[in-house]
Amino acid sequence: MPVPSVKWSLSAISLIVIFGLPGTDRQAMAQAATAVAPPVQAVTVAQGLENPWGLAFLPDGRYLITERPGRLRVVEADGRLNPPVSGVPAVAASGQGGLLDVVLDSSFATNRTLYFCFAEPAPGGAPGNSTALARARLSLDGTALEDVRVIFSQRPKFASRLHFGCRIVEGMKDGRPDGTLFLTLGERFQRAQDAQTLDNHHGKIVRIGKDGSVPRDNPFVGRPGALPEIWSFGHRNPQGATLGPDGRLWMHEHGPQGGDEINRPMPGRNYGWPVITHGEQYGGGPIGAGITAKDGLEQPLHHWTPSIAPSGMVFLTSDRYGAAWKGNLFVGSLKFQFLNRVELAGGKVVREERLLGDLGERIRDVRQGPDGYLYVLTDNAKGRLVRVMPP
């Protein structure tokens, strides 16, 4: 059962975010203006979830939540956890791998279709794993997945416990679903250089049809030596993605030690990893030539240095929190355990504010519910689903 509400009163705070290492530019030190936050309440909706990762809202008011060890759960509106949904395929639940994101099809109310991504083990017990995207139907009683089919598998498989990426976004065109899915893919850490070549899926964003087909307007269709699913490349470990108010894909990705990025991936563009980065090696020292810019490589819309370890991403479209928050971007922080409110103007970040820091828990996912409120998942062995409420 949910625990009683806990109120977190947030007074005016000033936050200065350093946008570059000493000697860099160019984004110089963008100053985040003082923001007055309305009081908010953190209300625990459900608890006892083991490393929850992805969240979707069922039409009947219940929640669908993935747990990284490989479980998919339907959670009742009052917070009661149901037994795990059957039919989830085998997952490589090790390190950062496991059962990760889940989204409902835009026509779920009539077709019961959902999509989930996970760390897929190599067949036959062979070494290696990779990120995979599956399609399935949720049974009418919510207890089983039916007609489960993997519609995309990252290639090549590689034995690693790191950097799976794995956020799913349904594509839109002219305000309507266009029959495509975006999937973010990590570069598997040890295979960082793969992010710069098009003969693999490491460090890429891919775009596929809902049946696994390749859209004919993908940027590398017909290009020799390039995998046709690729939409953009040069990414590190993207664990947040959403559609923006502009109808375009937005995403963020983990940098190394510094250099977490927000990007708006355009078709065919190269986002630089590991050739350019605002971060450095763990423990110090340059990555590659230690440069932050190069001709032909895209600059991030924004970067966090030092890193906040971002995960989850959503734009607020409701007016539940007042006009000042509508249109803001919300991003979870694993490292510093807060929900980051990001204000944008003219395509630039102009202000940031840290919320829910007193929870003391890693924020893994953030979504807007059908009720217009924000919900977050906390990534712990006893994780929670939390509703963020105004007073």
Within a domain: 213: yes
What is the spatial distance between Cα 246 and Cα 372, in angstroms, rounded to a whole number? 19
Domain total in the chain: 1
Per-residue model confidence (pLDDT) at position 5: 40
Distances, alpha carbon 362 to alpha carbons 110, 151, 376, in Å:
35, 31, 10
Within a domain: 332: yes
Is 163 one of the annotated active-site residues of the chain?
yes
Q: From the candidates 163, 201, 202, 302, which is the catalytic residue? A: 163
What is the spatial distance between Cα 17 and Cα 120, in angstroms, rounded to a whole number? 37
| Site of tokens 């997945």 | 145
Amino acid, single-letter form, for residue 57: F
- Cβ(203)–Cβ(187) below 8 Å: yes
199: alpha, beta or left, given left = phi > 0 and alpha = psi -120 to 50?
A: alpha
Within a domain: 323: yes
What is the spatial distance between Cα 264 and Cα 347, in angstroms, rounded to a whole number? 10
Largest pairwise CA distance in the chain: 59
What is the spatial distance between Cα 182 and Cα 231, in angstroms, rounded to a whole number? 8
Task: Give me the tens of pLDDT residue by residue for the chain, a chain 391 residues long.
Answer: 444 444 333 333 333 333 333 333 334 333 333 344 457 899 999 999 999 999 999 999 999 999 999 999 999 999 999 999 999 999 999 999 999 999 999 999 999 999 999 999 999 999 999 999 999 999 999 999 999 999 999 999 999 999 999 999 999 999 999 999 999 999 999 999 999 999 999 999 999 999 999 999 999 999 999 999 999 999 999 999 999 999 999 999 999 999 999 999 999 999 999 999 999 999 999 999 999 999 999 999 999 999 999 999 999 999 999 999 999 999 999 999 999 999 999 989 999 999 999 999 999 999 999 999 999 999 999 999 999 999 7
Within a domain: 94: yes
Within a domain: 1: no
Within a domain: 225: yes
Strand partners, 322: none
Per-residue model confidence (pLDDT) at position 26: 35
| Nearest residue to 242 (alpha-carbon basis) of 212, 218, 264, 259 | 264
Structure tokens at 16: 């200065």
- Cβ(315)–Cβ(326) below 8 Å: no
Q: Within 13 A of 330's CA, how many CA atoms are on the CB side?
A: 24
Per-residue model confidence (pLDDT) at position 361: 97
Residue 307 maps to which CATH number? 2.120.10.30
pTM (2 d.p.): 0.91
Q: Provide the domain limits for residue 201.
A: 6-389
Within a domain: 357: yes
Burial of 79 (0-12, 13-18, 19+ CB in 10 A): middle
Question: Residue 26: what are its φ and ψ, rounded to 5°?
Answer: -115, -45
